[in-house]
Each structure stands twice: as C-alpha cells, then as structure tokens.
Amino acid sequence: MAKLTFFQLLKAAEQQLAAAGQDTSAAQYLLLEGQAWSFTTLVQHYRDAVPVELAATYQDQIKRVCAGEPAQYILGHAPFYGREFQVTPATLIPRQETEELVEWVLAVAKPKTSLLDVGTGSGAIAISLKAERPDWTVTATDISATAVDVARQNAQQLQAPVTFTVGDLLEPVRGQRFDIIVSNPPYIDRAELPVMDDSVKRYEPDSALFADDHGLAFYRRFAAELTTALQPAGQFFAEIGYHQGAAVREIFARALPGATVTVKTDINGHDRMVRVQLKS
C-alpha cells in the first residue's frame, strides 16, 4: 500500500475535523508544530511520503481534536508573543487577545518597572514582559500551585527570571507595592455556558474562567485593594470580557475617584482591556 503524502495526510485530517464540527485549522497547526516547520517548509514537503510512525501519531492527535480536546493540550505547548509555553489542563491556553494586553503594558511602562502579574497561569504574561524588558523586576502569583509549577518551568526554559508565589489574588504579596499590576483574571459569567466553546468548557480550568457577579467579581476585588498594592501613580492593566467595558469602567471609577480609567479595544474592535492610572 502506498504511503500518504503530507498533502494527503493534511487534507484527510481537515475533512475529519470538518465532519466532527471542529476547526479545520487544527490540522495544519498540529502538523507544523509537531514537526517544528513553517508553512513554507510544509509546502516543500507536500509530495513527500509521511513516515508510518509519524502518520500514526498525527492521526491519533486528529482523533483527539475531533473529540473536542484542544490541540495545544495534546502537544503540551502553545505559542505566545513569539515564544513557546508549556501548557497543561491546569493552565489556560494563551490567546492572541492577551498578547495585545502585553503590548499595551510594554508601550506605556517606564524603565526599571516593578511589575506584578496576578493569576499567572502558564506564566505567559509575566515571562513575556520579563523577556522583553530584562531590567524589570517581575513577580507573579496564582492560587493554583500546579499552575505555578508550570509557570516556573516555562520561566526556566525561556531564561526569564520571575519570582513566583502561590496564593489568592494579592495575598501572597501583602505589604509590597508595585509600579504596575497586570492580570488576566476569570471574567466569564456562568450564564454564558450555553454559548461557550465545548472544548473550553470540558478541558480548560474552571477556576481560571468563571467569576461571580456576572463575571465582575475580580474587578471589584482589585478595585478595593489597588491603592495598597500600587505605588502612587501606579497602573493596573487587565483583560476584560468583550461586553464588560462599561461595567468595569464604572467599578474602578467609583472605587478610585481621581483615577484615570481607560478601556481599550482589541484588533477586532471589541472592548478587551482596561487600564487604571492612579493619581499621584
């Protein structure tokens, strides 16, 4: 029996995914990431025969994606801000929208910044910022010790010295003050469960997704504590839900009179980030 070519393998996988109602882009993603290839390299190998063992591994991966498992968890890593991060079911999969939050922090922060990342997960935000600004002092916290273990491994692999600590919100750094606090907190209302992607609901950690008070609970907690955790004129950055801009703005404006609250849209024009600048 003739071996499949890479082109045939890819097209068959895309058909399987389409039939299962899954995103067909996972087929190319798994092939490129699994081989550490660029798309150009893949095209150059289109007519080559696929080794039997590689084909078997890849087809098994496609079956798992057809069943709803995220490709990033299957591979054990995901790209973020030009680097590869280890991910496990204890951590969220880093997403492109969060890269825009990193970009915003980098664009406005001063040199020699002290920064805290709250709810670090895989460490994607903290490590990316430290890697881009080696002179910054970066600390990261998460309530999940398992997630912090993953983040520490990522920091070591990417040679980005970040101080990690385990605990709820700002509790692990009580008494310390930072120039910047950044967070991608849980912000999904459980009422949104019926419209959420099934793979997210089944595989990504609930504790990193859902928040009480229609998804706003963590913003209220931050608003109540920022003046004790930030330096005078310090800044807080956070990711928000696409429909939460007005509500989040009101939370911080009411709790912190005199602060400047800015809601920023993402590349798709959706409210996605908030910055709170304390008065000096």
Can you give the pLDDT at residue 241? 93
Q: What burial letters (b/e) apply to 173-210, b meaning 16+ CB within 10 Å?
A: beeeebbbbbbbbbbbbeeeeeeeeebeeeebbeebbb
Pick from 30, 11, 9: nearest CA to 19: 11
Band of residue 1 on the pLDDT scale cut at 50, 70, 90:
very low
Read off the pLDDT of each residue in 73-86 and give the average, rounded to a whole number. 95
Structure confidence at residue 198 (pLDDT): 80
Residue 91 DSSP class: S
pLDDT at 3: 81
| CA dist 256 → 69, 169, 177, 185, 220 (Å) | 42, 19, 17, 19, 11
Helix (H, G, I), strand (E, B) or coil at 139: strand
Written as six digits, the tokens of 2 are: 């003739």
Q: Could you give phi then psi for residue 69, rounded to 5 degrees?
A: -75, 130
| Region 125-149 average pLDDT | 97
186 neighbors 207 (Cβ within 8 angstroms): yes
Report whether 151 contacts 164 (CB < 8 A).
yes
Confidence of residue 101 (pLDDT cuts 50, 70, 90): very high
> What contacts 86, CB < 8 A, 6 or more positions away?
76, 77, 122, 150, 153, 154, 157
Contact indicator for 190, 209 with CB cutoff of 8 Å: no
pLDDT value, residue 2: 62
Mind listing the pLDDT tens digit for each residue in 102-128?
A: 999 999 999 899 999 999 999 999 999
Average pLDDT of span 4-23: 96
- pTM (whole model) above 0.85: yes
SS3 8: helix
Among left, alpha and beta (phi > 0; psi -120 to 50; other), residue 250 is alpha
pLDDT exceeds 60 at position 244: yes
Phi, psi of 261 (to 5 degrees): -110, 125
CB atoms within 10 A of CB 111: 7
Helix (H, G, I), strand (E, B) or coil at 231: strand
Q: Parse the chain into domains and list their residue ranges.
A: 6-67, 77-277
For the segment 237-263, the average pLDDT, to the nearest whole number, is 96
**DSSP character for 138?**
E
163-191 residue pLDDT tens:
999 999 999 999 999 999 999 999 888 88
pLDDT one-digit tens code per residue, 44-63? 999 999 999 999 999 999 99
Residue 124: the pLDDT is 98
**Would you state the pLDDT for residue 208?**
81
Q: Please give the pLDDT value at position 163.
A: 98
Helix (H, G, I), strand (E, B) or coil at 247: helix
Q: What is the pLDDT of residue 94?
A: 95
Whether residue 199 is predicted with pLDDT greater than 80 in this model: the reply is no
Which CATH architecture is the domain 77-277 placed in? 3-Layer(aba) Sandwich (3.40)
For residues 238-251, average pLDDT? 96
The CA distance from 79 to 93, in Å, is 9
